[in-house]
Chain A
Amino acid sequence: MSLLELRKLNKHFGGLHVTNAVDLTLEPGEIHCLIGPNGAGKSTLFRLILGEHHPGSGEIFFAGENITALKSFARIHRGLSVKFQVPGVFKGLSVRQNLEIALQSRHRGAELEAEISRLLGFLGLESEQAQMAGNLSHGQKQWLEIGMAISLRPRLLLLDEPTAGMSPEETHMTGEMVQHLNADGMTVLAIEHDMAFVRQVAQRVTVLHLGQVFAQGSIDEIVADERVAAIYLGQAHA
């Protein structure tokens, strides 16, 4: 059984057809990258999957269950988790408290403390734990939010541009982290512009263009596809 299945998802914003009959299937255990030019509808697709937006038509299945009508928090309980494009950390709270809020529904007491420390170490944010999350660098905020997202031990992790604002080294580390999580059984769907990252982690790639699935395949197939190159070049000229 596939883990996530989108069937003919349509979403309009006024006259704008942002996702146009999108079909997408994720197999359990894969790392899948979603790429496409700016404004292709990638982030909107995430918001549909998460229940922040509701599709005009179409259905969303998660682990065989139709979740199209579920509230966002209920989808999270089913095993979804997300890092947004714009980091959504709790800016006025300390780094440590950010993680505590993410972890407290699964752990209590001393176990919670230990889990927070473990995660701080994993994210390399130990020395920043007392800082307000709003004072972190952009890259650190990204890491923190990824940390919060994986705290939930999701079956499917959604990452919207996880490496934006990171140096090439940091990007590579993020890639290794994603592979590490995947090895533990987590399925990952990542939106990414950074092709080095996509090359590093993607087992399958879907190209979204003007709200439609434009191409799908392995990274090598996608890179070799002249039509895909054309839409990116077209955007560069625009």
Chain B
Amino acid sequence: MTGFVSFFRRLEGPQTVGRGPAFWSLFAIVLAIGLAYPLFSDGYTVGNTVYFFVWVFIALSLCLIWGYGGSLSFGQTAFFGIAGYGYGVLTLNFGAAYGFTLIAFVAAVAIAALFAVLLGYFMFFGRIAGVFLGIVTLAVTLMLERFMAQTAGPEWHIGSARLNGFNGMSAMPPLTIPWPGEPIVLFADVGLYYFVLGLLVFVYLALRILMNSSFGNVIVAIRENPERAEMLGYDVRKYQLITFVIGAALAGISGVLYTAWGQYITPSSMGMTAAALPLIWVAVGGRSDLTSTVVGTLVVLAAFQALTIYGSQYALVFMGVLLVLTVLIAPNGLVLGAMNWLGRLAARLTRRAS
């Protein structure tokens, strides 16, 4: 029983901003708005909002590996792509009956995680760190993109699923929940919205607990000083590998959801632009905090889409400017900076009031 309570106490802690009744009330209000939102909107707009949510998982993966762990990985889109293609290949071959899309979801994420075990073992047990880690992960991502882009011929297929080169795969079934009578098909509107929102809340809270646990302590210790962490008896390579694999699974969740949402996946989802964008969301939001990452990603994505109306080149320039501004004004992230400022303000006000 006490173990149970202390488990949930880890929702708050030194590794996550936000604590106490004020924060959790705000959390409940935001969640309530999120739950009520489809009632006041149309299916198309809701489907578009799901698209934003889909990316938050890959942003959280980078937050974990880079912000908390201190290893800058450019490779998150590789895991995104592997899981996305994995979902496509599995569902195109085996269909959507008997809840198979959900099994394919889990299997595709597991494949991405397994790939991360292999790549991560090679990197961390080979003591590749810092800039070299970024280079290796980027190279792997771009190699995967190039490889998938040249799979246009009919000889490139897995079972009955054609890989289709540059054009990518399409027409895989959406996520489908088996239900007595009629299975529930999660098309890109309200149904998928609630599924993804539920998953997002679950992952966010689970990561808060993980990062405030003794495991999370070791992860940030390695970021601060890997030598000291090792000299406290921690096998640094093992912790880095586990973090990397969890991150890969999160990126894989984004990949599957993206593929199921639009019913397509292309090699460019692993390209240079795709690899750079999550870095910007996370850097702008605040890479070392989960909440800042979620808020920052959603805000930047919404702003990006609003600007795309005027032409995607401006939107990309805007992202660049935003990144430079962040580095200059609030190197730890704009959202995180603002939240810390609000926290200090609130503390000062309560002190004055008492």
B227 within 8 A of A: yes
Q: Which of A71-79, A120-128, A211-219 contacts B (4 or more CB under 8 A)?
A: A71-79
Among residues 66 to 125 in chain A, which have CB atoms less than 8 Å away from a CB atom of chain B? 71-73, 76-77, 81-82, 84, 88-94, 97, 100-102, 104-105, 109
13 further A-B pairs in the complex, CB-CB below 8 A; given A90-B224, A148-B232: A50-B231, A73-B230, A73-B236, A84-B228, A88-B231, A90-B221, A91-B224, A92-B223, A97-B14, A97-B217, A101-B232, A109-B6, A145-B228
A80 to B248, CA, bound (A): 35
Partner of A104, one of B214, B225, B236: B214
A201 within 8 A of B: no
Determine the residue in chain A with the shortest Cβ distance to B221: A101
Binding site for A on B (CB under 8 A): 2, 6, 14, 214, 217-218, 220-221, 223-225, 227-236
A102 to B229, CA, bound (A): 9
A76 to B230, CA, bound (A): 8
A221 within 8 A of B: no
- Which of A84, A89, A102, A151 neighbours the largest number of chain B CB atoms within 10 Å of its CB? A102
A90–B235 CB distance below 8 A: no
Tell whether A93 pairs with B221 under 8 Å between CB atoms, given A72-B230, A73-B230, A104-B214.
Answer: yes
Partner of B231, one of A76, A91, A93, A105: A76
User: What are 27 A-B pairs with beta-carbon distances under 8 A?
Assistant: A52-B227, A72-B231, A73-B233, A73-B235, A76-B230, A76-B231, A84-B227, A84-B228, A88-B227, A89-B225, A89-B228, A90-B224, A90-B228, A92-B220, A92-B223, A93-B14, A93-B224, A101-B217, A101-B221, A101-B229, A104-B214, A104-B217, A105-B214, A109-B2, A109-B6, A145-B228, A152-B233
B233–A88 CB distance below 8 A: no
B236–A90 CB distance below 8 A: no
A88–B225 CB distance below 8 A: yes
A88 to B234, CA, bound (A): 15
Determine the residue in chain A with the shortest Cβ distance to B13: A97
A66 to B39, CA, bound (A): 70
A100 to B236, CA, bound (A): 17
Least Cβ–Cβ distance between A178 and chain B, in angstroms: 19
A94–B14 CB distance below 8 A: yes
Least Cβ–Cβ distance between B333 and chain A, in angstroms: 14
What 0/1 pattern do residues 113 to 157 of A give for CB contact below 8 A with B?
000000000000000000000000000000001001101100000
A92–B224 CB distance below 8 A: yes
What 0/1 pattern do residues 161 to 203 of A give for CB contact below 8 A with B?
0000000000000000000000000000000000000000000
CB contacts (< 8 Å) of B230 on chain A: these are 72-73, 76
B228–A100 CB distance below 8 A: no
Tell whether A100 pairs with B225 under 8 Å between CB atoms, given A71-B235, A76-B233, A88-B231.
Answer: no
Partner of B233, one of A84, A91, A100, A105: A105
A88 to B7, CA, bound (A): 30
B14–A90 CB distance below 8 A: no
A151 to B221, CA, bound (A): 16
CB contacts (< 8 Å) of B232 on chain A: these are 76, 101-102, 105, 148, 151-152
Determine the residue in chain B with the shortest Cβ distance to A151: B232
CB contacts (< 8 Å) of B228 on chain A: these are 84, 88-90, 145, 148
Least Cβ–Cβ distance between B239 and chain A, in angstroms: 10
CB contacts (< 8 Å) of A84 on chain B: these are 227-228, 231
Determine the residue in chain A with the shortest Cβ distance to B232: A102
A23 to B51, CA, bound (A): 66
A90–B225 CB distance below 8 A: yes
A100 to B13, CA, bound (A): 13
A205 to B241, CA, bound (A): 43
Among residues 36 to 90 in chain A, which have CB atoms less than 8 Å away from a CB atom of chain B? 50, 52, 71-73, 76-77, 81-82, 84, 88-90
